[in-house]
């Protein structure tokens, strides 16, 4: 889809298409839509990221908490947004062995216990081994604020990948 299509679509279609760019946070799509017409793909991406950046830290943290656990078998099969499901599938997380699912579950629980937020990682272009290594590296972090900032960076990266996939140059 090109930028002209985005600029000309109805508000309802725009909402439906962009409501999960930031996981289960349609208000960012609403505020971004108010900036139409977008000049180009980069302008659209910049607007979405800026609308997220305007939010206070607590709101950003709440958006982080809306992201699903990586490698959670039940959620991959049933409860994910289509965007999250495709991202996890493309990283191979939908075909983990039972042992790998249990490992991911333990890592997710350890991470939430330590930092109070789920582990966020933009998985595009990654595989299970990359994700496991990132889990291990970030679990060594002892500074909750640093991890929150890293999670915010990862959420923006996920949004960038999602928008980049939807809009042609």
In a domain, 35, yes or no: no
Q: Looking at the 3D structure of the chain, how many domains does it have?
A: 1
pLDDT band at 78 (very low <50, low <70, confident <90, very high): low
Query: Is 53 contained in some domain?
Result: no
62 lies in a domain?
no
- The 10 Å Cβ neighbour count of residue 137 is 9
Question: In angstroms, rounded to a whole number, what is the distance separating the alpha carbons of residues 50 and 83?
Answer: 21
Domain presence at residue 128: yes
Q: Is residue 167 part of a domain?
A: no
Grade residue 155 by pLDDT with cuts at 50, 70 and 90: very high
Q: Is it the case that residue 29 has pLDDT exceeding 60?
A: yes
The two tokens of residue 140 are: 């060594």
Contacts 24+ apart (CB under 8 A), 52-56: 52/22, 52/28, 52/155, 52/156, 52/159, 53/156
Q: Confidence band (pLDDT; 50, 70, 90) for 132?
A: very high
pLDDT of 9 > 60? The answer is yes
The CATH number covering residue 123 comes to 1.10.3330.10
Q: Are 75 and 69 in contact (CB under 8 A)?
A: yes
**41 within some domain:** no
State mean pLDDT over 56-73: 90
Band of pLDDT at residue 136, cut at 50, 70 and 90? very high
Q: What is the mean pLDDT of the chain?
A: 92
Give the range of the structural domain holding residue 101, as residue numbers without chain letter.
68-143
Question: Tokens 């090109």 sit at which residue?
Answer: 2
Residue 76: is its pLDDT beyond 70? no
CB 71 within 8 A of CB 108: yes
pLDDT value of position 139: 96
Q: Is 6 exposed, middle or buried (0-12, 13-18, 19+ CB in 10 A)?
A: buried
- Residue 118 belongs to some domain of the structure: yes
What confidence tier does 79 reach under pLDDT thresholds 50, 70, 90?
low
Reported pTM? 0.92
Known catalytic residues? 67
Is residue 94 scored above 90 in pLDDT? no
130 located within any domain = yes
């Amino acid at each position: 889809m090109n930028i002209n299509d985005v600029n000309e679509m109805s508000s309802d279609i725009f909402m439906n298409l962009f409501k999960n760019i930031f996981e289960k946070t349609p208000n960012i799509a609403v505020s971004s839509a108010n900036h139409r017409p977008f000049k180009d793909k980069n302008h659209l991406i910049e607007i979405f990221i800026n609308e997220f950046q305007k939010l206070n830290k607590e709101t950003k943290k709440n958006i982080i908490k809306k992201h699903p656990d990586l490698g959670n078998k039940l959620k991959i099969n049933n409860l994910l947004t289509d965007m999250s499901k495709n991202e996890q599938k493309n990283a191979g997380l939908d075909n983990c062995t039972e042992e790998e699912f249990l490992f991911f579950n333990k890592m997710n629980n350890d991470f939430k216990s330590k930092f109070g937020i789920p582990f966020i990682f933009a998985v595009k272009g990654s595989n299970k081994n990359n994700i496991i290594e990132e889990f291990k590296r970030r679990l060594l972090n002892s500074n909750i604020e640093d991890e929150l900032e890293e999670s915010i960076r990862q959420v923006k990266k996920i949004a960038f990948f999602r928008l980049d996939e939807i809009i042609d140059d």
